């Protein structure tokens, strides 16, 4: 019997799809998980990148893009 998973956000859907690709195709694509905190006028973003079995968290940043770049830098410096 198949079970269906439903996701409330596009990011959750993308994350699940990336895991399926890794499982079936053996590909190691980075998957980002970014959290926004702080006030609406001064948000703070923190991102984690997962590749294979490894996960790397970057430094906080003022933009989503910079937070993901910080996580990627941690991955490459590792």
CATH number given to 29-77: 3.30.160.20
- Rounded Cα distance between 52 and 31, Å, is 9
Q: For 12, which DSSP code? A: H
pLDDT tens track, the chain, 78 positions: 444 566 677 777 777 776 666 555 556 778 899 999 999 999 999 999 988 788 999 999 999 999 999 998 987 886
- Rounded Cα distance between 47 and 1, Å, is 36
| In the chain, domain spans | 29-77
Cβ atoms of 52 and 62 closer than 8 Å: no
Cβ atoms of 64 and 45 closer than 8 Å: yes
Per-residue pLDDT at 57: 94
The 54-57 sheet, strands edge to edge: 31-39, 42-51, 54-57
């Amino acid at each position: 019997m198949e079970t269906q998973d439903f996701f409330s956000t596009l990011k959750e859907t993308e994350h699940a799809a990336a895991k399926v690709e890794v499982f079936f195709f053996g590909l190691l694509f980075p998957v980002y998980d970014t959290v926004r905190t702080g006030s609406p006028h001064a948000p703070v973003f923190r991102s984690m990148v997962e590749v294979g079995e490894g996960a790397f968290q970057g430094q906080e940043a003022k933009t989503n893009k910079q937070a993901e770049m910080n996580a990627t830098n941690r991955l490459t410096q590792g």
